[in-house]
Structure 1
Amino acid sequence: MESTICPWCQTEIVWDEELGAEEQCPYCHNELKGYRTLNIQLGDEEEFEDEADGDEEEADYWEEGDTHLDAIRRVESFVAGGGDLLAYESGVEKVLDGQDEVPECPHCREYMLHAGQQEISGGSFEPVVPKGMQSPLLSGTLKLNVYVCSACFSVSRFLAEEERNTFIRTVSEKA
Protein backbone atom coordinates (compact mmCIF):
# COMPACT_ATOMS: atom_id res chain seq x y z
CA MET A 1 0.00 0.00 0.00
CA GLU A 2 1.20 3.44 -0.96
CA SER A 3 0.79 6.40 1.42
CA THR A 4 0.90 10.14 0.95
CA ILE A 5 0.57 13.05 3.37
CA CYS A 6 -1.84 15.78 2.33
CA PRO A 7 0.02 19.13 2.32
CA TRP A 8 -3.20 20.92 3.29
CA CYS A 9 -4.63 18.97 6.24
CA GLN A 10 -1.50 16.90 7.11
CA THR A 11 -3.50 13.67 7.03
CA GLU A 12 -1.82 10.46 5.96
CA ILE A 13 -3.64 9.03 2.97
CA VAL A 14 -3.25 5.32 2.23
CA TRP A 15 -4.04 4.49 -1.41
CA ASP A 16 -5.21 1.18 -2.74
CA GLU A 17 -2.60 -0.17 -5.19
CA GLU A 18 -5.24 -1.26 -7.68
CA LEU A 19 -6.99 2.12 -7.80
CA GLY A 20 -3.84 4.21 -7.45
CA ALA A 21 -3.42 7.71 -6.11
CA GLU A 22 -6.23 10.21 -6.49
CA GLU A 23 -5.90 13.86 -7.42
CA GLN A 24 -7.84 15.11 -4.37
CA CYS A 25 -7.51 14.47 -0.66
CA PRO A 26 -10.50 12.37 0.47
CA TYR A 27 -10.64 14.33 3.77
CA CYS A 28 -10.29 18.01 2.87
CA HIS A 29 -10.94 17.67 -0.89
CA ASN A 30 -8.00 19.89 -1.84
CA GLU A 31 -5.84 19.25 -4.87
CA LEU A 32 -2.83 17.09 -4.06
CA LYS A 33 -0.75 17.38 -7.22
CA GLY A 34 -1.09 21.12 -7.66
CA TYR A 35 0.17 22.18 -4.24
CA ARG A 36 1.20 25.77 -4.69
CA THR A 37 3.47 27.91 -2.58
CA LEU A 38 3.53 31.62 -2.06
CA ASN A 39 6.90 33.33 -1.90
CA ILE A 40 7.11 36.49 0.17
CA GLN A 41 10.24 38.53 -0.22
CA LEU A 42 11.54 40.40 2.75
CA GLY A 43 13.63 43.38 1.84
CA ASP A 44 14.18 47.07 2.28
CA GLU A 45 11.20 49.32 2.82
CA GLU A 46 12.42 51.54 -0.02
CA GLU A 47 11.85 48.70 -2.49
CA PHE A 48 8.27 48.31 -1.29
CA GLU A 49 7.66 52.06 -1.50
CA ASP A 50 8.94 52.11 -5.10
CA GLU A 51 6.61 49.24 -6.00
CA ALA A 52 3.68 50.92 -4.24
CA ASP A 53 4.28 54.17 -6.17
CA GLY A 54 4.09 52.25 -9.44
CA ASP A 55 0.85 50.58 -8.36
CA GLU A 56 -0.73 53.95 -7.53
CA GLU A 57 0.06 55.30 -11.00
CA GLU A 58 -1.56 52.26 -12.61
CA ALA A 59 -4.55 52.47 -10.28
CA ASP A 60 -5.24 56.06 -11.37
CA TYR A 61 -6.45 54.75 -14.72
CA TRP A 62 -8.16 51.62 -13.42
CA GLU A 63 -11.53 53.23 -12.71
CA GLU A 64 -11.52 56.68 -14.25
CA GLY A 65 -15.26 57.12 -13.82
CA ASP A 66 -15.28 56.11 -10.18
CA THR A 67 -17.88 58.37 -8.60
CA HIS A 68 -17.16 57.07 -5.10
CA LEU A 69 -13.68 58.64 -5.16
CA ASP A 70 -15.17 61.89 -6.42
CA ALA A 71 -17.58 61.82 -3.50
CA ILE A 72 -14.74 61.30 -1.04
CA ARG A 73 -13.02 64.33 -2.53
CA ARG A 74 -16.25 66.34 -2.17
CA VAL A 75 -16.59 65.37 1.49
CA GLU A 76 -12.90 66.16 2.04
CA SER A 77 -13.41 69.60 0.50
CA PHE A 78 -16.36 70.08 2.90
CA VAL A 79 -14.08 69.27 5.84
CA ALA A 80 -11.29 71.45 4.45
CA GLY A 81 -13.78 74.32 4.23
CA GLY A 82 -14.43 74.08 7.96
CA GLY A 83 -17.33 71.62 7.91
CA ASP A 84 -17.83 69.10 10.69
CA LEU A 85 -17.86 65.60 9.20
CA LEU A 86 -19.02 64.01 12.46
CA ALA A 87 -22.02 66.35 12.59
CA TYR A 88 -22.80 65.48 8.96
CA GLU A 89 -22.66 61.74 9.66
CA SER A 90 -24.86 62.02 12.76
CA GLY A 91 -27.33 64.15 10.79
CA VAL A 92 -27.44 61.51 8.06
CA GLU A 93 -28.12 58.81 10.67
CA LYS A 94 -30.99 60.82 12.18
CA VAL A 95 -32.60 61.30 8.78
CA LEU A 96 -32.19 57.61 7.91
CA ASP A 97 -33.73 56.55 11.23
CA GLY A 98 -36.88 58.50 10.39
CA GLN A 99 -37.32 57.06 6.89
CA ASP A 100 -39.71 54.21 6.10
CA GLU A 101 -37.68 53.12 3.08
CA VAL A 102 -33.90 53.25 2.91
CA PRO A 103 -32.69 52.27 -0.57
CA GLU A 104 -29.03 51.62 -1.34
CA CYS A 105 -27.20 53.79 -3.81
CA PRO A 106 -26.65 51.90 -7.08
CA HIS A 107 -23.20 53.48 -7.43
CA CYS A 108 -21.53 53.15 -4.03
CA ARG A 109 -23.99 50.98 -2.01
CA GLU A 110 -24.41 53.60 0.76
CA TYR A 111 -27.87 54.45 2.08
CA MET A 112 -29.85 57.19 0.38
CA LEU A 113 -31.77 60.05 1.99
CA HIS A 114 -35.36 60.81 0.96
CA ALA A 115 -35.13 64.38 -0.35
CA GLY A 116 -38.68 64.87 -1.61
CA GLN A 117 -41.18 64.08 -4.35
CA GLN A 118 -41.19 65.00 -8.00
CA GLU A 119 -44.41 65.21 -9.98
CA ILE A 120 -44.32 64.28 -13.65
CA SER A 121 -47.26 65.49 -15.68
CA GLY A 122 -48.62 64.11 -18.94
CA GLY A 123 -46.71 66.69 -21.00
CA SER A 124 -43.27 65.60 -19.81
CA PHE A 125 -43.97 61.86 -19.82
CA GLU A 126 -44.99 59.85 -22.86
CA PRO A 127 -46.25 56.38 -21.91
CA VAL A 128 -45.92 53.38 -24.21
CA VAL A 129 -48.30 50.45 -24.61
CA PRO A 130 -46.43 47.13 -24.28
CA LYS A 131 -47.18 44.31 -26.70
CA GLY A 132 -50.14 42.25 -25.58
CA MET A 133 -51.72 45.07 -23.59
CA GLN A 134 -54.38 47.63 -24.50
CA SER A 135 -53.23 50.41 -22.16
CA PRO A 136 -49.89 51.78 -20.93
CA LEU A 137 -48.33 50.63 -17.67
CA LEU A 138 -48.11 54.19 -16.37
CA SER A 139 -50.31 57.08 -17.37
CA GLY A 140 -51.39 60.51 -16.23
CA THR A 141 -49.56 62.38 -13.52
CA LEU A 142 -46.91 60.43 -11.64
CA LYS A 143 -45.25 61.08 -8.31
CA LEU A 144 -41.68 59.95 -7.82
CA ASN A 145 -39.76 59.77 -4.56
CA VAL A 146 -36.37 61.45 -4.96
CA TYR A 147 -33.42 60.07 -3.00
CA VAL A 148 -29.90 61.50 -2.65
CA CYS A 149 -26.89 59.40 -1.69
CA SER A 150 -25.19 60.65 1.46
CA ALA A 151 -21.76 59.56 0.20
CA CYS A 152 -21.52 60.09 -3.58
CA PHE A 153 -24.48 62.50 -3.88
CA SER A 154 -26.03 60.72 -6.84
CA VAL A 155 -29.78 61.10 -7.24
CA SER A 156 -32.26 58.25 -7.79
CA ARG A 157 -35.99 58.35 -8.36
CA PHE A 158 -38.55 55.65 -7.58
CA LEU A 159 -42.31 55.46 -8.00
CA ALA A 160 -44.19 56.71 -4.96
CA GLU A 161 -46.22 54.10 -3.08
CA GLU A 162 -49.56 55.06 -4.69
CA GLU A 163 -48.06 54.77 -8.17
CA ARG A 164 -46.43 51.44 -7.29
CA ASN A 165 -49.79 50.00 -6.26
CA THR A 166 -51.43 51.30 -9.44
CA PHE A 167 -48.57 49.85 -11.50
CA ILE A 168 -48.93 46.44 -9.82
CA ARG A 169 -52.70 46.42 -10.37
CA THR A 170 -52.29 47.41 -14.03
CA VAL A 171 -49.76 44.68 -14.73
CA SER A 172 -51.74 42.06 -12.80
CA GLU A 173 -55.11 42.77 -14.37
CA LYS A 174 -54.20 43.60 -17.94
CA ALA A 175 -51.28 41.32 -18.67
Structure 2
Amino acid sequence: MDTTICPWCQTEIVWDEELGPEEECPYCHNELKGYRTLNIALGSDEELEEEDEPEEEDLGIWEEDDESHLNAIRRLEAFGAVGGDLLAYESGVEKILDHQEEVPECPHCREYMMYAGSRSLGPDYIPVVPEGLKAPLLKQAAKLNVYVCTACFHVGSFLSEEDRNALIRAVSQD
Protein backbone atom coordinates (compact mmCIF):
# COMPACT_ATOMS: atom_id res chain seq x y z
CA MET A 1 0.00 0.00 0.00
CA ASP A 2 1.22 3.49 -0.87
CA THR A 3 0.31 6.82 0.72
CA THR A 4 -0.46 10.22 -0.87
CA ILE A 5 -1.24 13.55 0.81
CA CYS A 6 -3.93 15.64 -0.87
CA PRO A 7 -2.40 19.06 -1.61
CA TRP A 8 -5.79 20.71 -1.17
CA CYS A 9 -7.18 19.35 2.10
CA GLN A 10 -3.94 17.86 3.50
CA THR A 11 -5.67 14.52 4.09
CA GLU A 12 -3.70 11.29 3.87
CA ILE A 13 -5.00 9.04 1.09
CA VAL A 14 -4.08 5.38 1.23
CA TRP A 15 -4.45 3.48 -2.02
CA ASP A 16 -3.96 -0.10 -3.04
CA GLU A 17 -1.07 -0.84 -5.42
CA GLU A 18 -3.25 -3.21 -7.46
CA LEU A 19 -5.87 -0.53 -8.12
CA GLY A 20 -3.35 2.27 -8.60
CA PRO A 21 -3.36 5.83 -7.31
CA GLU A 22 -6.53 7.84 -6.85
CA GLU A 23 -7.18 10.46 -9.53
CA GLU A 24 -9.48 12.44 -7.25
CA CYS A 25 -9.32 13.06 -3.51
CA PRO A 26 -12.13 11.05 -1.89
CA TYR A 27 -12.56 13.79 0.75
CA CYS A 28 -12.49 17.14 -1.07
CA HIS A 29 -12.96 15.79 -4.64
CA ASN A 30 -10.14 17.88 -6.14
CA GLU A 31 -7.96 16.38 -8.84
CA LEU A 32 -4.72 14.83 -7.66
CA LYS A 33 -3.10 14.69 -11.09
CA GLY A 34 -2.57 17.14 -13.92
CA TYR A 35 -1.70 20.80 -13.88
CA ARG A 36 -3.04 21.42 -10.40
CA THR A 37 -0.65 19.10 -8.59
CA LEU A 38 3.03 19.64 -7.96
CA ASN A 39 5.02 16.49 -7.26
CA ILE A 40 8.31 16.96 -5.48
CA ALA A 41 10.80 14.11 -5.47
CA LEU A 42 13.02 14.06 -2.43
CA GLY A 43 16.52 12.82 -3.13
CA SER A 44 20.08 13.44 -2.11
CA ASP A 45 21.41 16.99 -1.79
CA GLU A 46 23.53 16.54 -4.91
CA GLU A 47 20.48 15.64 -7.01
CA LEU A 48 18.57 18.64 -5.69
CA GLU A 49 21.43 21.03 -6.48
CA GLU A 50 21.60 19.75 -10.05
CA GLU A 51 17.84 20.26 -10.50
CA ASP A 52 17.99 23.81 -9.10
CA GLU A 53 20.41 25.03 -11.78
CA PRO A 54 18.39 26.48 -14.68
CA GLU A 55 19.14 25.39 -18.19
CA GLU A 56 20.31 28.05 -20.65
CA GLU A 57 17.04 27.99 -22.57
CA ASP A 58 15.09 28.61 -19.34
CA LEU A 59 16.85 31.94 -18.85
CA GLY A 60 16.07 35.00 -20.93
CA ILE A 61 13.45 37.60 -20.17
CA TRP A 62 12.67 36.16 -16.71
CA GLU A 63 16.30 36.54 -15.72
CA GLU A 64 16.05 40.27 -16.43
CA ASP A 65 12.84 40.57 -14.40
CA ASP A 66 14.38 38.72 -11.47
CA GLU A 67 17.40 40.99 -11.59
CA SER A 68 15.31 44.18 -11.47
CA HIS A 69 13.30 42.73 -8.59
CA LEU A 70 16.51 41.84 -6.74
CA ASN A 71 17.80 45.38 -7.26
CA ALA A 72 14.58 46.70 -5.73
CA ILE A 73 15.01 44.41 -2.74
CA ARG A 74 18.61 45.58 -2.34
CA ARG A 75 17.41 49.20 -2.31
CA LEU A 76 14.97 48.44 0.48
CA GLU A 77 17.63 46.50 2.42
CA ALA A 78 19.98 49.48 2.03
CA PHE A 79 17.22 51.66 3.50
CA GLY A 80 17.14 49.36 6.52
CA ALA A 81 20.94 49.37 6.80
CA VAL A 82 21.09 53.19 7.08
CA GLY A 83 18.71 53.29 10.00
CA GLY A 84 15.36 53.02 8.25
CA ASP A 85 12.76 50.69 9.75
CA LEU A 86 11.66 48.23 7.04
CA LEU A 87 8.81 46.88 9.16
CA ALA A 88 7.46 50.40 9.63
CA TYR A 89 7.79 51.02 5.87
CA GLU A 90 5.94 47.78 5.02
CA SER A 91 3.26 48.55 7.59
CA GLY A 92 2.81 52.05 6.18
CA VAL A 93 2.61 50.69 2.63
CA GLU A 94 -0.08 48.19 3.66
CA LYS A 95 -2.17 50.92 5.30
CA ILE A 96 -1.98 53.02 2.14
CA LEU A 97 -2.81 50.11 -0.18
CA ASP A 98 -5.77 49.05 1.99
CA HIS A 99 -7.46 52.39 1.33
CA GLN A 100 -6.86 52.55 -2.43
CA GLU A 101 -9.67 51.81 -4.88
CA GLU A 102 -7.18 50.45 -7.41
CA VAL A 103 -3.93 48.68 -6.63
CA PRO A 104 -2.02 48.15 -9.88
CA GLU A 105 1.06 45.96 -10.13
CA CYS A 106 4.39 47.44 -11.16
CA PRO A 107 5.25 46.44 -14.75
CA HIS A 108 8.91 46.05 -13.72
CA CYS A 109 8.93 44.05 -10.50
CA ARG A 110 5.24 43.09 -10.05
CA GLU A 111 4.97 44.64 -6.59
CA TYR A 112 1.96 46.79 -5.72
CA MET A 113 1.92 50.49 -6.52
CA MET A 114 0.73 53.32 -4.25
CA TYR A 115 -1.48 56.12 -5.52
CA ALA A 116 0.58 59.31 -5.38
CA GLY A 117 -1.77 61.83 -6.99
CA SER A 118 -3.06 62.96 -10.34
CA ARG A 119 -2.01 65.26 -13.12
CA SER A 120 -3.51 66.45 -16.37
CA LEU A 121 -2.06 65.89 -19.80
CA GLY A 122 -1.42 69.61 -20.02
CA PRO A 123 -1.19 72.24 -22.75
CA ASP A 124 1.59 70.44 -24.67
CA TYR A 125 -0.77 67.52 -25.37
CA ILE A 126 -2.53 67.97 -28.72
CA PRO A 127 -5.45 65.56 -29.14
CA VAL A 128 -6.22 64.12 -32.56
CA VAL A 129 -9.45 62.78 -33.95
CA PRO A 130 -8.77 59.34 -35.45
CA GLU A 131 -10.28 58.69 -38.84
CA GLY A 132 -13.84 57.46 -38.49
CA LEU A 133 -14.44 59.08 -35.12
CA LYS A 134 -16.23 62.33 -34.30
CA ALA A 135 -14.19 63.21 -31.20
CA PRO A 136 -10.61 62.76 -29.99
CA LEU A 137 -9.75 59.72 -27.89
CA LEU A 138 -8.68 61.93 -24.99
CA LYS A 139 -9.56 65.50 -24.09
CA GLN A 140 -6.73 67.96 -23.58
CA ALA A 141 -7.69 68.19 -19.90
CA ALA A 142 -7.68 64.40 -19.36
CA LYS A 143 -6.44 63.39 -15.92
CA LEU A 144 -3.87 60.70 -15.17
CA ASN A 145 -3.62 58.87 -11.85
CA VAL A 146 0.04 58.60 -10.82
CA TYR A 147 1.32 55.53 -8.94
CA VAL A 148 4.68 54.73 -7.33
CA CYS A 149 6.00 51.18 -6.90
CA THR A 150 6.56 50.21 -3.28
CA ALA A 151 9.72 48.22 -4.10
CA CYS A 152 11.55 49.58 -7.16
CA PHE A 153 9.97 53.06 -7.01
CA HIS A 154 8.99 53.03 -10.69
CA VAL A 155 6.45 55.77 -11.42
CA GLY A 156 3.54 54.98 -13.72
CA SER A 157 0.32 56.68 -14.69
CA PHE A 158 -3.10 55.48 -15.80
CA LEU A 159 -6.17 57.28 -17.09
CA SER A 160 -8.62 58.36 -14.41
CA GLU A 161 -11.89 56.45 -14.23
CA GLU A 162 -13.83 59.35 -15.79
CA ASP A 163 -11.44 59.62 -18.72
CA ARG A 164 -11.41 55.83 -19.25
CA ASN A 165 -15.19 55.95 -19.63
CA ALA A 166 -14.90 58.94 -21.99
CA LEU A 167 -12.38 57.03 -24.12
CA ILE A 168 -14.69 54.01 -24.27
CA ARG A 169 -17.61 56.24 -25.33
CA ALA A 170 -15.48 57.99 -27.96
CA VAL A 171 -14.29 54.72 -29.52
CA SER A 172 -17.72 53.08 -29.46
CA GLN A 173 -19.47 55.93 -31.37
CA ASP A 174 -21.04 54.94 -34.67
One-letter code of the match for 2:115?
H
Per-residue deviation at 1:168?
A: 2.4
TM-score by length of 1: 0.62
Counterpart secondary structure, 2:95: helix
Query: Which residue pairs with 1:139 in the alignment?
Result: 139
Return the letter of the residue paired with 2:135. Answer: S
After the TM superposition, which residues 85-164 of structure 1 pair with which residues of structure 2 at under 5 Å, given as runs? 85-123=86-124, 125-164=125-164
Q: Distance in 2 between matches of 1:144 and 1:102?
A: 15
> SS at the partner of 1:63?
helix
Q: For the structure 1 residues 77 and 132, does the alpha-carbon distance in structure 2 shift closer, same or farther, using more than 3 Å as the test?
A: same
Per-residue CA distance 1:16-67 (angstroms, 9 max, x = gap): xxxxxxxxx9x85xxxxxxxxx99763xx7x68x979x959x8998724632
Matched, 1:10 2:17: yes
The answer as to whether partners of 1:119 and 1:141 remain within 8 angstroms in 2 is yes
User: How far apart in 2 are the matches of 1:122 and 1:137?
Assistant: 16
Structure 2 residue matching 1:129: 3-state secondary structure: coil
Stretches of structure 1 that go unaligned for 5 or more consecutive residues are: 1-7, 14-24, 29-37
| Contact 1:117 1:145 survives alignment (8 Å) | yes
- RMSD of equivalent CA atoms: 3.7
8 Å contact kept, 2:126–2:140: no
Aligned twin of 1:80? 81
> TM-score scaled by structure 2?
0.63
8 Å Cα contact 1:122/1:139 also seen in 2: no
1:160-171 matches, cutoff 5 A? 160-171=160-171
**Change in CA separation of 1:115 and 1:40 when aligned onto 2, cut-off 3 Å:** closer
Q: Which runs of 5+ in 2 are unaligned?
A: 1-14, 24-39
Separation (CA, whole Å) in 2 of partners of 1:88 and 1:79: 10
Is the contact made by 2:106 and 2:113 (CA closer than 8 Å) also made in structure 1?
yes
Correspondences of 1:49-64 after superposition (within 5 Å) = 55=53, 63-64=63-64
CA distance in 2, matches of 1:10, 1:162: 62
Mark the CA change 1:11 to 1:102 in structure 2 (over 3 Å): closer, same or farther.
Answer: same
Q: Which has the larger radius of gyration?
A: 1
Query: Closer, same or farther in 2 for the Cα pair 1:169/1:80, shift >3 Å?
Result: same
Alignment check: 8 A CA contact 1:105 1:149 kept:
yes
Aligned to 2:9: none
Deviation at 1:106, TM superposition (A): 2.4
CA change 1:116–1:40 in 2 (3 A) is closer
Whole-Å Cα distance in 1 between the matches of residues 50 and 168 of structure 2? 56
